[in-house]
Structure 1
Amino acid sequence: MSESSDRLQRRSAPKRLTADDWADAALAALAERGLAAVAVEPLAARLGTTKGSFYWHFANRDALVAAALARWEEVSTERIIRAMETAEPDPAARLGALLRGATLSVVDDPLEVRLLAAGDHPEVAAALARVTERRIGYLAHLFELLGFPAPEARHRGFFAYTSYLGHAQVAHAVPGAVPTDPAYLAAVTAALLKR
């Protein structure tokens, strides 16, 4: 076999899907149409594969939902926290960057709102509880680094997080109603830092 035909065969061979590919597709479907959209056949069609690929990675839909939620936790919380920790040494600047980034990204991504709406599902409820605690804990940590006593830092972390969630809800319920300009976001951060 020639080198060029070998390359052509490799290029035309279908990509082997990973469990993360399936989890990402499940999250995309969930963001578009809610938890009910996480179904094997439509996801297989979306990924251009068969149900056999799904069953190679998962025993059932519940296992896929659990994997998708774990992926969401990693990508939307842990990875962001690690990036903030390495990118910005100043806790006030880190807090501002985190709030700006999260607030702007949620306007275009309905996943958080869809997950909140599916909070009556046991797996989703458990993931929401873990993520909420982790995010509020991290925000409280930043406020502590800024000199706020632990109980007040926790309150401010909770306030910052619920402000973000409210922003997300309004952004998707009434598109265009939520200000996203830098001055507004700077004012929110300043209000959170005011002593």
Structure 2
Amino acid sequence: MARRNLTPQDWSTAALRAMARGGVGAVSVNALAGELEATRGSFYWHFKDRDALLTAALEVWEREDTTALITALGDITDPRKRLTALFTVALGQEDINGLEPAIVAHADHPAVAPVLRRVTERRIAYLTDLYTDLGLDTATARRQAVAAYAAFLGWLELRRSACDVVPEVAATGTIATVALEHLISGLVRPVVHQADPE
């Protein structure tokens, strides 16, 4: 049986899955080749080296989990509905379980740092814009965006590391659905403006 030709996307997705399982160190050309039933030659056809794969994989993550999501939400004109849709997708079932916490855990890695910084800046700016559209002043909207983003990262980290202790953060189930709805309603509710300290 002939092997199918692997694409850079196939290798990148496999690298992201490995990263979610074991961090940056788990992204090994040999291990991925075995998982994909491919040769090292197939890898080197697409990538110069492991670092090039890491960069490509992280750019896939950026494109799919940030750029594409923001674009998809563009048709929703009501900011409250857009925030609700954003949090429902972001906090719901993950495409690759544990990927966000794994990437954040390697924030100082040379391949991870620039992409993670870009993604974080874009996501917080987007959230700030949405909270501004809800009527918050810029400073309050920014604070709310940072708090919401911290809640997002904490929720996913709890799901990855303590789902048995905190079943409310699971991706499915009645308890999880109720808890997620509670969290989203808190994140979407406008914050009463408080003046910045002098």
What residue number does 1:185 align with?
183
- Superposed CA RMSD in Å reads 1.8
* Higher Cα Rg, which structure: 1
Unaligned runs of 5+ in 1: 1-11
Q: Given the alignment, which residue of 68, 77, 91 partners 1:89?
A: 77
Query: Relative to 1, partners in 2 of residues 1:190 and 1:76: Cα closer, same or farther, differing over 3 Å?
Result: closer
What residue number does 2:150 align with?
162
What residue number does 1:67 align with?
56
Between 17-26 and 101-110, the greater mean CA deviation after superposition: 101-110
Give the number of the structure whose residues are more often helix, by fraction. Answer: 1
CA contact (8 A) 2:80 2:188 kept: no
What residue number does 2:41 align with?
52
- Whether 2:19 is the aligned partner of 1:23: answer no
Unaligned runs of 5+ in 2: 169-175, 193-198
SS at match of 2:74: helix
Between 117-126 and 97-106, the greater mean CA deviation after superposition: 97-106
CA contact (8 A) 2:19 2:25 kept: yes
CA contact (8 A) 1:107 1:168 kept: no
Which residues of 2 match residues 105-116 of structure 1 at below 5 A? 105-106=93-94, 109-116=97-104
SS at match of 1:122: coil
CA contact (8 A) 1:170 1:178 kept: no
Instruction: Normalising by structure 2, report the TM-score.
Output: 0.85
What residue number does 2:24 align with?
35
Distance 1:32 1:54 in 2: 20
Deviations 1:150-195 (A, max 9, x none): 222111111110111111122222114153324423432344x232
Identity %: 40
